[in-house]
Amino acid sequence: MSTKHPITIDLNADVGEGFGVYRLGADEELLPLVTSANIACGFHAGDPATMRTTVRLCLQHGVGIGAHPGLPDREGFGRREMAITPREAYDLIVYQVGALQAMAHTEGGTVRHVKPHGALYNMSATNAALAEAIAEAVYRLDPSLVLYGLAGSESVRAGRRFNLCTADEAFADRRYNPDGTLVPRSRPDALLHDPQEAVVQVRALLAAGRAQTVCVHGDTPEALAFARAVRVALLADGLQIKHNILAGRKERV
């Protein structure tokens, strides 16, 4: 890639996913490596104290604050599908994002984006009705929020119909099906484990024009190695790494 005309990319991570006395991930080490954080909002993981601590870390490191609302399934970490209606999806988003907005406000920060978590993310990627409900909830909460969704998915299309800024997302640590969906976590080959393999995948996805933001899951053992490797590779390719890159850019479909 040319260094004369660098492309801007966002590097995000799912964080704040501990609760009570339980800690998950190395958020303090991971956040300085990324530009956007998707903070668990208390349903699949997270709690008020963890949310507040994570918001403070984001402000300390200049990381964009994002909400990561999920299904009400702590035991399954929000990664098991549930038969919810679009109205229930709408309420889940409003409730959880609103909680993080309040927490961020009291700490002097602002929630900049929303990225559904786990099964809710995957369900809304292919279910137009769920995607529409989630996009409407985000719009009614704050039309300036950026909605993150799987590249080329129903989630992104729904966000654009509501005139939201949207970010097509690619994953550094997940394998893909031929149709662009993610390999289910029930399969043993769902995750990548080699940081260099992740770099190859990210470069291929970006070269294909399939993403404006790249995700590293904070709960994986390789999260720090992946974030470091991807960051180094993107900078070496001449990219500028910044959060909320689509602010002010909206598109109707």
Render pLDDT for 74-114 as a digit per residue (tens, 0 to 9). Answer: 999 999 999 999 999 999 999 999 999 999 999 999 999 99
pLDDT above 90 coverage of the chain, percent: 87
Q: Is residue 127 part of a domain?
A: yes
Q: Is residue 2 part of a domain?
A: no
Domain span at residue 26 reads 8-241
Helix residue spans in the chain (DSSP H): 27-30, 48-61, 86-106, 118-126, 128-141, 154-161, 195-207, 223-236
Q: How much is the pLDDT for 88?
A: 98
Separation of alpha carbons 240 and 231, rounded Å: 10
CATH, residue 156: 3.20.20.370
Q: Is residue 3 part of a domain?
A: no
Q: How much is the pLDDT for 23?
A: 84
Dihedral pair phi/psi, residue 152, rounded to 5°: 75, 15
Do 39 and 51 meet the contact criterion of CB atoms below 8 Å apart? yes
Q: Is residue 250 part of a domain?
A: no
Number of domains observed in the structure of the chain: 1
Render pLDDT for 126-150 as a digit per residue (tens, 0 to 9). Answer: 999 999 999 999 999 999 999 999 9
Q: Is residue 124 part of a domain?
A: yes
Q: Is residue 251 part of a domain?
A: no
